[in-house]
Structures are given as C-alpha cells and as structure tokens.
Structure 1
Amino acid sequence: MDIVIATLTSPVILFFILGMLAASARSDLAIPEAIAKGLSLYLMAAIGLKGGVAVSESGFTPELALAAAAGVALSFVIPYLAYPLLTGFGKLDRINAGAVSAHYGSVSVVTFVTAQEIFTGQSMGPAGYMVAVLALMETPAIISGLMLARRGQKRDDGNGGGLLHEVLLNASVVLLMGSFFIGLMAGPVGFEPIAPLFQVPFTGVLCFFLLDMGLVAARRLIESKSMTVRLAALGILFPLFNGVVGTVLGTAIGLDVGSAAALGVLGASASYIAVPAAMRMALPEADPGLYLSMSLGVTFPFNIILGIPLFAALAQAIG
C-alpha cells in the first residue's frame, strides 16, 4: 500500500493523470509535436547515458548476461502467448492478432523510465544494465509477431531488407544503444561535465512528457472505433500476466529487487513507437487504430498508474 500511495502521489504520475483528465474533458491543452519529440529524445539519451555509466562502474557481470537472456526470451515468447487469446477471445483476424501480439512482446521506453524514476525514489533503483536489456527486448517480438501474422503465406513480399533496417535502426534503438555505449566508454569521470544537463532536469522533463502521453492516450481511446470490451480486458490481462512472469523470472535468476521489478515492468509494457513503425511497413493491412488504442490507450495508463507499484510490491514480497 505504501508503494501504491507513493506512486500515485508522485508528480510524474500526477502529470500523466492530469493529461488524461484534460483530454477526457475535451480541453485544448496540448504539447507541440516538435517539443514532445525533443522531450522523448532527451529522455532516451539520458537513460542510455546513465545506464552506460552504471555498467562502466560495475563491469559486465553474470547478472547482466542472465537479465539480457531473460529479457530476450520474454520478448520472443510473449507474442506466442498473446496470439491465441487475441484470435479466440478477442475475435481478431490473423494479421491484426499478429500485429497486436508484437506490441505486447516489445517494450515501452517511457514506462521503463517512469518505473526507474519511481523505484530510485524508493531506494530500489534497478541496475544500470537494465537499459541494455530494454534495448534488446524491442526487436525479438517484432520477429515473432510477423511470423504469426504471416503463417500460411507462401511468398515473401520482398520487404525484408527494409523491415530489418526499420527494426534495427529505428530512432529509439539507435539513440538508446548509442547513448548507452557513450556512457559506457566515458565512465563516471567523462560523464561528470554533462551530468547537470542529464541528471538535474530529468524528472521535470519526464513530467512534461507524461503530461503529453496522458493527453495522447485518452484521446486515442476516445477516438478509437476498433476497441471492444474484450480487447480492453486483454489490454489489462496481458500486462498483469506478463509483468508477474517477468518479476518472478527476474527474482529466480538472482536479480536484485529493483532490477527484478524492472524486468516485470518491461514484460508488462507494450510498444507504441518502434513496433508501430515496423508494422506500418511490414503489415500495412493491420489496423493502426486497433494496436495503438490497446497499447497506448489501455495498457500504458494501466502500467503507469497500477502496474509499476504492483510489480514493485511483488518483487519486494518474493525477493
């Protein structure tokens, strides 16, 4: 209960709730798109740099290797678990079920950044190498989702090279991994001159970004014409199940409490940046309004408000 109260009274979460309430009330409050993109770039660069610096201090450890293996396995397997529910209970066709399942196997950078900030404030900050795990988990789910969506197809559309480029070189992967390796090479001494830019303003920037995310999530949900009660229920069931599995798995392989909770958050989160970009190229016939409404309109708010404290409490209980 203390974790839940601390999360719900955090300015970061309150700004997100403010955005959702404002959009639901049809307010004209908005963050200009160029500014929102700049905030996103800043957050990814900052989290990558700090993760790289942390790994440079601790070195490459067995825990890092185990966490990376667990994260990649989760990302690849989760779409195969989600797909039958999406086609059966959710009544989706093969293409849309494959596209949605890929979103749930991949990860949300903003959900992870928010969880990291909250966990750190509660003295259970995850290890720096979890940033590398985050980056590694973006791609395997896209492969799984496409394999599921294209089952039974006899021909290739010739777009494989373009898709591979889109998956491996999309902005979030390049900036996260690039800044991670910069932090790794610079170390604490090299990071010190730029620390005032990437540490002090971080929480304030995250507040503004989550205000925008609250606005976007609520408006996406209001405008959606594809969302059903069954799909909304799956949008909550998936993060609950995946987050519990990720947290238990993280604890089982020996991660500290914060890192195990972070692995749970990664398992629970759903992509709304990298995977939509890949799906637009590989599965143009899939409905963007459907997979974005589920990942951004249902799962993202659930994780930000309830999922993060839930997985933190679970990690503390079993850790």
Structure 2
Amino acid sequence: MPDIVIAFFALGLLAGLLKSDLKVPNAVYETLSILLMLTLGLKGGLALHGRADLAVLPDLLLIGSLGVLIPLALYPVLKRWVRLGSADAVSIAAHYGSVSAGTFAVALALAERAGMPLAPETTLYLVLLELPALVVMLWWYQRQKKRAHSDAPLAQHSALHVWHEALTSRSVLLLVGGVAIGWLYGPEGLAPITPTLLGGFKTFLALFLLEMGICTARACFPLPIQHWRLLIFAALAPFVLASVGLAVGLGLGLPAGSVLILAALTASASYIAAPAAIRASVPEANIGLAMLASLGVTFPVNVLIGLPLYQRWVEALV
C-alpha cells in the first residue's frame, strides 16, 4: 500500500474532480504550510545537533549548483521544443530549477517509513536548491531583455533585491530558522514541543496534501489541450531530472535516504516560492502556465508515480 499521506492527496484529487464543496480554509492552509516548513527545519536541525563537520561543505556546494545548472539547461528546451516566449520560458525554468517543499516532505516520510538512512544535512538540500534558480533565471531574463532592447530602462528588481526577497521569504525563514533552533537546542531543548510538532508531522503533511489534491484538480481539469507540449514536458521532466539528482547523490556517496530525497527534489518544481518571485519580477510571464505545469502535472506525477519509482531505483543502486 502507498504511504497514508498519498491517500489524502488522492482524496483531494477525487473531491476536486467530482466538484465537491470540500475545501481546506485558507487560514488552515496557511497554518499547515507554516507548521510543515518549521517542522522540516526542526528535523534537520536535530539531525545536525552536536555536529560541526565542515567536510560536507563541498558536497553541499555541488548540490546547490544544481539549482543554477538545471534551469539554464531547461531554458532552451522550453524555448525551442515547448515553443514558449522568453518570459514564460524563464518563468517555468525557474519553477523547475527551484524545488517543492511538499515533494520533499513526502519523500522524507517515504524514506523514514522504509528505514532508509539519511545524512544529517539532508534538510539543507531543500534550502540550497530553492534559491539559486530564482536568482539566476531573473538575471537571465534581465540579460535577454537588455539584448532585445538596448535602450530599455534598467530592471526595477536588481540581483541584490531578488536575493533579499528570496532570503526573507516565509519558507526560507522558517526552514533556516527551524534548522538553527533544532541545532542549538537539540532533543532536550525541544522536548516540550516535540509531541506536537515533530509527532504531528504526518498529520500536517496529510492535510496539506488533501488541499494540494483539490488544487491539482482545479488546475488540470478541464485539461488545456492547447498546451499539449507543456503538458508533455511537465509529465516527462521529473523522471529526467530525478536521474540527475540520483547520479549526483550516487557520485557523492550519499546514504540511500539522502539520494532518494535529492532525486525527489531535482524532479520537483516549486509552486510556492517561485510564483511569488516571478510574479513580482517578470510581469510578462503567465503564472497560470507555470502553475499548470508544476502543480497540475509535475507534483501529482511525482507523488503518485515518481517517488515510489525513485525509491526502487535507489534500492537497486545503493
């Protein structure tokens, strides 16, 4: 049987397809997002507690570089094969270079259920991969715009401003803050909140995925056949990108659980941080297309098909 949290995603998807009045109130969804991000950070901080191993820095830098290389590699594919304009190609490349915290949470639950070993710094992969893609693609967009219009005014959002927006976003602050708190306080310091936050992790994730299933149905149905190239890209890209994460994880000699999570992250696409950054900095981009691809297609493909498949790949190779 699939992990129980997957059943909640399927229930939300079914409810959306049946046009049910089931919905998670916005206030509850926002609360779940905060609790999920904070709990992920705390889990990573607890794993790092008492460690000060600088030997992992080269590995972390290599993993972070994937956030730059993946969107730059996807941009020409989106331009030439999917036939998107520059703004939409930048937008979707940024979404796929960045990562999905929801996919990370499901992959973490899957790895823990299977008893797969995890490197203590695994949660840091999420932070390292979320930011670079947004910054590099916004820089690329400004560069392309200046080439096309040499007399165009300077973009309002400088690289420094983009970094500020990215680093102060809610998800990054909660993740990094949670890691810092877990690392500093350790199991004893966190004992008063452990039953509620860490013990409730799967409950938060299940309710979050229920809403994600409803959102997926809303984004994908009726299916926009006119965007068939983008739909094919969104369905196939996760498996290609997962193989990149898998190869890097194996090359670095990471434990099985960390390889699975790195493959899941590279296969994922952002639907929280990236839309906000792109909407502010690339107003010409159609955010609906990005959400259709990342949330409507790639997220369910990963959750329902991809993650169990990536787990089998890891078990066969590690």
- TM-score tier, shorter chain, comes to over 0.9
Greater shift, 139-148 or 32-41, is seen at 139-148
What is the match of residue 45 of structure 2? 52
Superposition pairs for residues 104-253 of structure 1, below 5 Å? 104-154=96-146, 155-160=153-158, 161-222=160-221, 228-253=227-252
Q: Is the alpha carbon distance of 1:30 and 1:288 closer, same or farther for their aligned partners in structure 2, counting shifts above 3 Å? A: same
- Mark the runs of 5 or more structure 1 residues left unpaired by the alignment: 1-5
TM-score, normalized by length of structure 1? 0.93
Paired residue secondary structure (1:126): coil
Mapped to 1, the partners of 2:253 and 2:58 lie a distance apart of 9
Q: Is the alpha carbon distance of 1:227 and 1:253 closer, same or farther for their aligned partners in structure 2, counting shifts above 3 Å? A: farther
Tell whether the 8 Å contact from 1:31 to 1:212 is kept in structure 2 after alignment: yes
Tell whether the 8 Å contact from 2:37 to 2:171 is kept in structure 1 after alignment: yes
Mapped to 2, the partners of 1:265 and 1:125 lie a distance apart of 16
Q: Is the alpha carbon distance of 1:125 and 1:109 closer, same or farther for their aligned partners in structure 2, counting shifts above 3 Å? A: farther
What is the match of residue 84 of structure 1? 76
Q: Give the superposed CA RMSD.
A: 1.7
Structure 1 residue 70: deviation in Å? Answer: 2.8
C-alpha offsets along residues 61-112 of structure 1, whole Å, 9 cap, x if unaligned? 53x3244223211111001111111111111011100110000000101100
- Mark the runs of 5 or more structure 2 residues left unpaired by the alignment: 147-152
Structure 1 residue 144: deviation in Å? Answer: 2.3
Mapped to 2, the partners of 1:142 and 1:226 lie a distance apart of 28
Tell whether the 8 Å contact from 1:108 to 1:270 is kept in structure 2 after alignment: yes
Structure 1 residue 199: deviation in Å? Answer: 2.1
Tell whether the 8 Å contact from 1:227 to 1:294 is kept in structure 2 after alignment: no
C-alpha offsets along residues 209-248 of structure 1, whole Å, 9 cap, x if unaligned? 1000100111012267596111111102221111111012
Paired residue secondary structure (2:63): helix
Q: Is the alpha carbon distance of 1:157 and 1:149 closer, same or farther for their aligned partners in structure 2, counting shifts above 3 Å? A: closer
Paired residue secondary structure (1:40): helix
Structure 1 residue 27: deviation in Å? Answer: 1.0
TM-score, normalized by length of structure 2? 0.93
Give % identity: 38
Match of 2:4 among 8, 11, 14: 11
Tell whether the 8 Å contact from 2:135 to 2:163 is kept in structure 1 after alignment: no
1:25 corresponds to 2:56: no
Q: Is the alpha carbon distance of 1:216 and 1:178 closer, same or farther for their aligned partners in structure 2, counting shifts above 3 Å? A: same
What is the match of residue 264 of structure 2? 265
What is the match of residue 98 of structure 1? 90
Tell whether the 8 Å contact from 1:67 to 1:130 is kept in structure 2 after alignment: no
User: Which stretches of structure 1, 4 residues or longer, exceed 3 Å deviation after superposition?
Assistant: 223-227
Q: Is the alpha carbon distance of 1:167 and 1:100 closer, same or farther for their aligned partners in structure 2, counting shifts above 3 Å? A: same
Paired residue secondary structure (1:159): coil
Mapped to 1, the partners of 2:162 and 2:74 lie a distance apart of 22
Paired residue secondary structure (2:221): helix
Structure 1 residue 187: deviation in Å? Answer: 1.3
Mapped to 1, the partners of 2:105 and 2:120 lie a distance apart of 12
Q: Is the alpha carbon distance of 1:153 and 1:127 closer, same or farther for their aligned partners in structure 2, counting shifts above 3 Å? A: same
Paired residue secondary structure (1:198): coil
Greater shift, 224-233 or 102-111, is seen at 224-233
Greater shift, 201-210 or 27-36, is seen at 201-210
Tell whether the 8 Å contact from 2:220 to 2:292 is kept in structure 1 after alignment: yes
1:254 corresponds to 2:247: no
Tell whether the 8 Å contact from 2:234 to 2:298 is kept in structure 1 after alignment: yes
Q: Give 1:310's aligned amino acid.
A: L
Mapped to 1, the partners of 2:59 and 2:221 lie a distance apart of 37
Paired residue secondary structure (1:228): helix
1:68 corresponds to 2:31: no
Mapped to 1, the partners of 2:274 and 2:204 lie a distance apart of 24
Q: Is the alpha carbon distance of 1:226 and 1:137 closer, same or farther for their aligned partners in structure 2, counting shifts above 3 Å? A: farther
What is the match of residue 149 of structure 2? none
